[in-house]
Structure 1
Amino acid sequence: MSTAARPVAITCGEPAGIGPEIAARAWAALASDIPMFWIGDPRHLPEDVPHRVIDTPEAASMPSADALPVLPHDFGSAALPGVAQPGHAQGVIDVIARAVDLVQQGAASAVCTAPIHKKALQDGAGFAYPGHTEYLAALAGVDDVVMMLASEQLRVVPATIHIALDQVPQMLTPTGLRRTIEITAESLRDRFGIARPRIAVAGLNPHAGEGGSMGRQEIDWIAPLILEMQGEGYALAGPLPADTMFHAAARQSYDAAIAMYHDQALIPIKTLDFDRGVNVTLGLPFVRTSPDHGTAFDIAGQGRANPTSMIEAIKLAWRMGSST
């Protein structure tokens, strides 16, 4: 790339987790091709990672192969791999807010977030959100966002996210499912360049209810909603039995799948492409991606963390952000 561009902003995530090391290794893999900068405390990076402190994102508008550009954020102390420090919790939260502010100002093309540890943030700073997705929605001032897990083999969206399984039938509503489908279709068009997205919708119950013998949600409102939206021009299929819609041949028939709850969505993609899955938040007024894994405290600081998902997340953030 020969001309300056808006770089991708990478948040530090939980300093005691693998976030700093996978960000550094992802930079090393992509440094010649993608402009990026990391927001965090330089003390939290692996000691052998060359870095240069920058004052503004503009200083990272060209790919930097010699040193990782770092927009510093003082956490007050070094990190202990594998052990979250309560005093670092507010810094993690503030870095996310800072990255969002920069992308909304137009100083960055996209945000790629390293994993956070939600309990550490709740215990250390009273973090009031179930996860990254909900916090980003609050920062952006939007009510409806959708979590997509994406890889070359599958794109899948859970209609409900971080709630207990016994709450899913109550939280899953015609209004909510409609909005999930609308946001998914719009994002596939605008962010992924698919002119007429084909979307498969899973049933809630085993065998999609099997004619009402295993649950009536499919008959009572899921199928009627799909029929109604088909009449509005949406290319939808379903409700489909979730146990038969993720094999190779079935995946060729759609561009994204809507699942009804967290594990119904995440088990297929993590089984198919565990290392390369990327978390994408749809419905935000900016691009946000993240690796599809957690903080991995058990291997933090040991140089064993696989950076593949972070690499894919930065690549996708760059592609999506550059298209806007």
Structure 2
Amino acid sequence: MFEYVKAWYENKFSDPHSVTLLLLLIATVALFYFFGSLIVPVLVALVIAYLLDWPVVHLEKLGMKRFTASILVMLLFSGLMIMILIGMGPVLWQQTSNLVQETPYMIEKGKALLLHLPEDYPSLITSEQVKSIVSSVEAKVIEFGQLALSVSLTSLKDVAAWLIYLILVPLLVFFMLKDKQELTQSAERLIPKQRRLIIQVWQEMNQQIMNYIRGKVFEILIVGTASFIAFAVLDLRYAALLGVLVGLSVLIPFVGAALVTIPVAAVALFQFGLETQFWTILIIYGVIQALDGNVLVPLLFSEAVDLNPVFIIVAVLFFGGLWGFWGVFFAIPLASLVKALINAWSSKQVDLTPS
């Protein structure tokens, strides 16, 4: 066994390029693990910079200088964000407030429906089972309410930090766009000369990350807008809020769609009861989810690495548990990175002399 491990180690890490890649990977993971919460503004700026680099590059191809293109793209992006915030912010706030106020009535209505189930279907469920379910749900609701209150009180202390982020993040994005070449060269000077595998992994991942971020933004906009239009046409209350939730649910593959089904079904049930319109809303919502998974995702992420759904779910669970929201958001690129690292270390070792 020891000889096998020794042979494997000598095969994979006799190349100094492999050792450099391993050390860089360890340093990066340690940085994000221990200081992840402190560099959130940098992560946000990187995501936005990746998103905006595409129009900047296209403006450069049209003959515009990068400095001018960066200013123009930042002005358009900032204006669009302000318009969305002013236009949708008050609506979403009002609908969220109304939904929170009506939640106790929705819970009571759901409780009444559950309590009638033993009368309608005595052979399937008993009153004791219903009472157990109701008490369990009530306990979870109380626990969630306490958690939401504690989070809201804690977040008040972070208002100043968020205000600082609103200033720092746009500045970071602008300088990342404007000085992309200089920043890349500075990063290259920090990496040892034995960088062949690092370059191989970076070249494999760079375009994938850009395509993934851009594709995710388009997916959120398309799915969210389609859901909002469908809910509004069907006269479902809180259409804007539910549309935003459905759009954001695509950030968590497979799991997000299942989770957001709960508020959509609850609002529809509270508003229409078990009538035709309730089932119509669920069917249309299911159609939107099916089109997203079978048409939109393959179209937007055609250039991404094809990963088995099992690997994607494991990546969401692992990286989400490690880094929270950003771990979930980057679960697929991180899974692709793991695959790229395995490919790099599994490739035939050549060029063993330092370059």
Shared fold per TM-score greater than 0.5: no
Structure 2 length-normalised TM: 0.24
Instruction: Choose between structure 1 and 2: higher helix proportion.
Output: 2
Instruction: Choose between structure 1 and 2: higher strand proportion.
Output: 1
